[in-house]
Amino acid sequence: MDHTEKTGRSNKQDTNCWGPIIEVKGIKIPLLALALLVIGAVVGPVIAYVTPGILDPLIEIRAREIVEARPTWTLAPTYTPYPTCTPPPPTPTPTSTPTPTSPPTSTPTPSVLQTEVIALKTFHGRYVTAMDAGWNWELRAETEARGNWEKFILLHLDNGKVALKTFHGRFVSATDNTGCCDWILRAETRERGKAEEFTLIDLGNGKVAFETAYGRYVTAFDAGRCWMLRAETQELSTWEEFTIVPWQQ
């Protein structure tokens, strides 16, 4: 009888990918796996005991390298804010002591040295007339006859000037064209001032001219300008010539 048949077993061992398989207490265990278990049981504690002593220095070195490799952070400096600058107060401007101003000295009205009653005759042969308020106190030289309105008092003043006073008790004024007076002569004011003073210029042959305080000459116009008297021109000509006629003559 075959031995195999007697034992009911095959002499051929069971195998798999782990190598031969043995049966322990009815449990089939690959021989290689059993060997690994035995080795692990023996070597594992040894490795567990030895490994810390080997790995700890390595871990410590690596940790130190990591720490040293990290960038060093420098704290930003703390800035002290600038103090708020308060501008200094302005330097007071010294106040100068005002120089006392003397009151203006009024120019005294020139005194009258001599008077004479006259009429004024123009180059056109007309007499100068002092109109009243109805004619806006204007002076004209249209009439060829003499009346009260053609009567003037010629005042010789102590400053070398003359003034003309009309029958109406007014003084002849020569304006400076301020206020659109158009240089027209009028006889409205009752007081003498700068505008009422004239320089009497002797032209010879009994002729005279009247220069105003503004450097103009009195002109007697003809009918084309309504026989008016104006003091605008700065040149002397025949229309600026007058003849002083004594009233009694």
How many domains does one find in the chain?
2
Mean pLDDT of 84-105: 59
Residue 181 lies in a domain: yes
Asked if residue 230 and residue 138 are part of one domain, the reply reads yes
- 31: domain range? 16-68
Residue 85 lies in a domain: no
Asked if residue 231 and residue 145 are part of one domain, the reply reads yes
Asked if residue 62 and residue 117 are part of one domain, the reply reads no
Asked if residue 149 and residue 39 are part of one domain, the reply reads no
- Look at 39-43, 88-92, 197-201, 241-245 and tell me which has the smallest mean pLDDT: 88-92
40, 68, 96 - which closes a domain: 68
Please indicate whether residue 46 or residue 122 has the higher confidence score (pLDDT).
Answer: 122
pLDDT of the residue at 218: 98
Tell me the pLDDT tens digit for each residue of 139-162: 999 999 999 999 999 999 999 999
Residue 94 lies in a domain: no
Asked if residue 200 and residue 140 are part of one domain, the reply reads yes
Asked if residue 43 and residue 166 are part of one domain, the reply reads no
**pLDDT-derived band at 176, boundaries 50, 70, 90:** confident
Residue 216 lies in a domain: yes
CB 194 within 8 A of CB 143: no
Residue 195 lies in a domain: yes
Mean of per-residue pLDDT scores for the chain? 80
Residue 102 lies in a domain: no
pLDDT of the residue at 11: 43
Asked if residue 141 and residue 240 are part of one domain, the reply reads yes
Asked if residue 209 and residue 134 are part of one domain, the reply reads yes
CA distances from 122 to 35, 150, 179, 218 (A): 166, 12, 28, 11
Residue 93 lies in a domain: no
Please indicate whether residue 245 or residue 81 has the higher confidence score (pLDDT).
Answer: 245
Asked if residue 160 and residue 43 are part of one domain, the reply reads no
Asked if residue 116 and residue 60 are part of one domain, the reply reads no
Asked if residue 195 and residue 117 are part of one domain, the reply reads yes
**pLDDT-derived band at 7, boundaries 50, 70, 90:** very low
> Residue 197 maps to which CATH number?
2.80.10.50
pLDDT of the residue at 175: 83
Mean pLDDT of 47-64: 67
68, 103, 128 - which closes a domain: 68
Residue 130 lies in a domain: yes
Asked if residue 242 and residue 165 are part of one domain, the reply reads yes
